[in-house]
Structures are given as structure tokens and as C-alpha cells.
């Protein structure tokens, strides 16, 4: 029995497959990615106020609360006003929580303002007004979850933590896992991968966390990734696989017009502008569908964002 000769085409295909697999394999341990990504960050990182040394840990924490599901362009003016008014946690803790809601303006998801106020109060009570350095102490603060604790510890204190926001998850999904998008919710596998990719050196790990986030925000975007400018394009598993389209569960899309969120926003806008309690009839004028309006107002009261008073009046919370 004679063997079939290997054609030059087959040899070429095998070599191409091997060469494509090599960068992807190197990417799996992160070492091939650290230098290019952090060097790119050093050259292209945006000059944002919470990245400056004078921001301190409190400035970093405020930015992390504000940036959740909100673009930088909308956060910047509110952040500057917030830090000018409340430069320390103690300054915010001394105010009524309703003032935090008022100052939050139209950033959206205003419960974040209440949580940040609660965190500031806890920092004042438990840590003498200084944002704690220990990850466990950060995680124990009201409103601080896994992501925020890791981000503050990393960005404010230069510690070694895996910081997984939407942008970082997308970079890792493409560069290492070879998928266009990450799962809708963070998985255990993603956390494990993030830890595997984390540089051993603490200072480099903190830069890596910031750099991967910036890469996802500026180049490896959801809709129009600029692969031609990406410092790791030649090692990206997704590109090496031919940039396959997303084949997982449908990606979640957010709507706003006509939703309870919109009604809540309109009701809060009236209360933020008011210097005295607002009568029910004034709130009734902001939305003409009474059932949805009542549901939205009840939700605001339930969430602690609005305080009901006697005589059908409402105000932002004082306690």
C-alpha cells in the first residue's frame, strides 16, 4: 500500500495554521500582550482628571461610581463639580443624601449617588475619612462590588487585581478567546482568564488594568473596532480566526424612550430643581400616563431616591 504524497498546498495550510496558533497560544499567558498594550497606553492614554496624582483614592472612587454605564464625556463635568464641592468623603457624608442625588444631575442610574453617599459615610465612620487601601475593606463598603473594589485598589493604590469592566472583557474575548463579544454576564471562566493574564509585578499589573480598559474604550470598541491601530492586532485570536461574527445569545440592548426609566428621570428632574417640597400635581404634569407615572414614583420612593411627605408632597431624601 502506497502512501499519498503530501501536497505543497496542504503543507502551506498546515504551516499557516501553526503560525496563526502560535500568537494565540502566547496570548493565553499574557506575556506577549503586556508590553505592546502598556506601551500603547503610555503613548495614547487620555488625560483624565481621575488619572492624575492629585485625584487621590477618593477621586478614583467617585469616577468609578460615575463611569458605570455612562460615557466619559457625560461624566467629566459632573465629576469636576462633585470634587469641587466634596473633595473628601467627609464633605459628602456631612450632607443629606438628597444633595448627592441633586448633584448627580442627568448621569442616569441615580441610585449610584445614594450608594456613593453611603460609601462616603462608611469611610468617615470606619476609616477616619480615608478611602481604605485593603481590597477586603473596600469590598465591605456600601455600594462597592467586585469591580469597583478591584478598580480602586488598582488605580488608586497600584495593587495587583484583575479589573474586569465591559471594555476589558471585550478585549480579552477577542484577543485571547477568539470571540467577537464576551458573554452577557461575567463568568467564572472570564475571571480565571483575567487572573491568568495579570502580570506578576504589582506596578505592571496596575498599568495593565488601566491599559486594557483604555484599549477597549478607544480601539477595541463594540461596533467599529479599529484593528489597524491596535498594538496586538497581529496576535488577536479573533482576527486570526477571520473575525467570526457573534454566535452566542443575543446581546442585550438598552432602551430608554417610553420606559419607566425615562419617567423616573423626568420626576427626579423636577425634584432636583425644587428648593421646597413638590406637590403631587406638579409631578403629575411631567407624564400623562397615570399608571406608569405612579409606578415610577413608587419605585423612586422604594429605592430611597424620593421621600414622601404629608399632604401629597415629595422631596429628595434628607436621611
> Which residues participate in catalysis according to the annotation?
64
Phi, psi of 194, deg, nearest 5: -60, -40
Dihedral of CA atoms 113, 118, 121, 127 in degrees, nearest 10, equals -110
CA distances from 66 to 38, 46, 141, 225, 252 (A): 25, 17, 16, 25, 21
Cell numbers 419617567: residue? 263
DSSP 50: G
CA angle 126, 121, 305 (to 5 degrees): 150
Using CB atoms within 10 Å of the CB of residue 68, give its burial: 0 to 12 exposed, 13 to 18 middle, 19+ buried.
middle
The residues, any chain, with a CB within 8 Å of residue 224's CB and separated by 6 or more, are none
Phi, psi of 307, deg, nearest 5: -110, 120
Amino acid at each position: 500500500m502506497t502512501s499519498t504524497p503530501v501536497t505543497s498546498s496542504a503543507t502551506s495550510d498546515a504551516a499557516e495554521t501553526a503560525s496563526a496558533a502560535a500568537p494565540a497560544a502566547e496570548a493565553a499567558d499574557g506575556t506577549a500582550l503586556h508590553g505592546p498594550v502598556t506601551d500603547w497606553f503610555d503613548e495614547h492614554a487620555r488625560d483624565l482628571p481621575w488619572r492624575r496624582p492629585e485625584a487621590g483614592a477618593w477621586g478614583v472612587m467617585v469616577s468609578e461610581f460615575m463611569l458605570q454605564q455612562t460615557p466619559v464625556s457625560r461624566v467629566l463635568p459632573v465629576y469636576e463639580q462633585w470634587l469641587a464641592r466634596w473633595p473628601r468623603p467627609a464633605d459628602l457624608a456631612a450632607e443629606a443624601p438628597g444633595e448627592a442625588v441633586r448633584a448627580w444631575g442627568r448621569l442616569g442610574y441615580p441610585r449610584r449617588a445614594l450608594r456613593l453617599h453611603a460609601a462616603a459615610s462608611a469611610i468617615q465612620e470606619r476609616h477616619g475619612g480615608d478611602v481604605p487601601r485593603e481590597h477586603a475593606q473596600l469590598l465591605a463598603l456600601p455600594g462597592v462590588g467586585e469591580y469597583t473594589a478591584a478598580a480602586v485598589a488598582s488605580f488608586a493604590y497600584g495593587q495587583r487585581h484583575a479589573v474586569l469592566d465591559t471594555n476589558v472583557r471585550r478585549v480579552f474575548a477577542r484577543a485571547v478567546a477568539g470571540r467577537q463579544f464576551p458573554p452577557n454576564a461575567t463568568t467564572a471562566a472570564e475571571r480565571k482568564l483575567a487572573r491568568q493574564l495579570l502580570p506578576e509585578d504589582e506596578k505592571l499589573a496596575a498599568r495593565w488594568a488601566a491599559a486594557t480598559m483604555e484599549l477597549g474604550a478607544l480601539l477595541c470598541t463594540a461596533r467599529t473596532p479599529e484593528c489597524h491601530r491596535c498594538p496586538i492586532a497581529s496576535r488577536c485570536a479573533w482576527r486570526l480566526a477571520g473575525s467570526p461574527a457573534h454566535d452566542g445569545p443575543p446581546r442585550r440592548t438598552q432602551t430608554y424612550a417610553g420606559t419607566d426609566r425615562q419617567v423616573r428621570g423626568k420626576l427626579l428632574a423636577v425634584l432636583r430643581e425644587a428648593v421646597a417640597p413638590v406637590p403631587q400635581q406638579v409631578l403629575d404634569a411631567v407624564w400623562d400616563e397615570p399608571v406608569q407615572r405612579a409606578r415610577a414614583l413608587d419605585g423612586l420612593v422604594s429605592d430611597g431616591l424620593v421621600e414622601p411627605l404629608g399632604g401629597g408632597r415629595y422631596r429628595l431624601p434628607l436621611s
